[in-house]
Amino acid sequence: MDMTVTPLRPETGDDALTIAGVCLSSRLFIGTAGYPTQAIMRDAVAASGAEVVTASIRRVSLQGHGSDTVKILKGRRFLPNTAGCETARDAIMTAELAREALDTTWIKVEVIGDRETLYPDVAELIEACRHLVDAGFTVLPYCNDDPIVCRRLEDLGCAAVMPMGSLIGSGMGVANPANIELICRRASVPVIVDAGIGTASDATIAMELGAAACLVNTAVAKADDPVRMARAMARAVEAGRDAHLAGRIPRRGRAEPSSPQLGLVGS
């Protein structure tokens, strides 16, 4: 097992990722579920360089029983989530438990409306986010890739929005790049593409579209080599961000030579 630890590399200047006044060291967020072992999970998180790690508050050992994810990943910023909740009431109660148990106001809000697709229930999600923002939480909602829904969540006071790239765990990548690009262009809070990332190129595409960050879990946890994939994801996010800032050339329906035609030998 490669035990190389990728050091956190804080961004500086105007392009630093800041959420709720906190400057983050990486634009890659990583989940903690589904790894073959806790040791592999620990090594993959280290290789990713991610500062923010997510975990379901219903899975994390809060009393020290069994696999204690919090202790294993000490020093990272935990973003507990409300995975498994199907109503605003359940999500609110879970968030309150997370705040008390983990001493954090950060919460990723998930309210699932359909068990087959794991699509969010938008009405319940908005209700939960409104309550949690008013209660002093730093709210990062998982939502569908709808620009109007993202705008409403931003207007409620959410610190970021987390539109789905595609179905959770599907590995289909960014299914609707036009919507993600529109959300990124219009948002005044960070946009974190969440769900559906399957490999490093998917993360690069999301970042090229203007996302502030990507959240990955299954793509790393279920890879043949999770540690190597985590390292690839870290590089992919950096490459995508650089490409977005650099600005791509326009697409054309015809060839255009990169070298001038005048002055050729024999012309």
pLDDT of residue 234: 97
Does 25 reside within a domain?
A: yes
- The larger pLDDT score, comparing residue 19 to residue 266, is at 19
Catalytic pick among 71, 74, 108, 222: 108
Domain presence at residue 252: no
Residue partners of 136: CB distance under 8 A and separation at least 6: 105
pLDDT at 30: 96
d(CA 189, CA 158): 8
Which pLDDT value is given to residue 174? 96
| 63 has pLDDT over 60 | no
Q: Does residue 1 sit within a domain? A: no
pLDDT band at 14 (very low <50, low <70, confident <90, very high): low
> Residue 258: pLDDT above 50?
yes
Instruction: Name the residue range of residue 144's domain.
Output: 13-246
pLDDT digits (tens, 9 = 90+) for 25-46: 899 999 999 999 999 999 999 9
Is 222 part of the annotated catalytic residue set? no
Q: Does residue 73 lie within any of the structural domains?
A: yes
Residue 181's pLDDT is what? 96
Q: How confident is the model at residue 263 (pLDDT cuts 50, 70, 90)?
A: low
pLDDT for position 69:
81
Q: Name beta bridge partners: 78.
A: 53
Q: Do 94 and 58 form a contact (C-beta atoms < 8 A)?
A: yes
Average pLDDT over residues 218-226: 96
State yes or no: pLDDT of 132 exceeds 60: yes
Mean pLDDT computed over 229-242: 97
Q: How many domains does the chain have?
A: 1
Does residue 122 form part of some domain? yes
Instruction: Find the mean pLDDT for residues 80-93.
Output: 94
Residue at 6 is within a domain? no
Residue 152 is part of a domain; what is its CATH number? 3.20.20.70
**pLDDT higher than 50, residue 145:** yes
H or E element: which one contains 95? helix 88-102
What pLDDT is stored for residue 8 in this prediction?
45
Comparing C-alpha atoms, which of 128, 133, 137, 202 is closest to residue 171? 202
d(CA 267, CA 262): 8
Q: Higher-confidence residue: 221 or 259?
A: 221
> Would 161 be classed as within a structural domain?
yes
pLDDT of res. 265: 65
Label residue 70 by pLDDT band (50, 70, 90): confident
123 domain residue, yes or no: yes
Return the closest-CA partner of residue 40 out of 224, 171, 198. 224
* Burial grade of 174 (CB within 10 A; 0-12, 13-18, 19 or more): buried
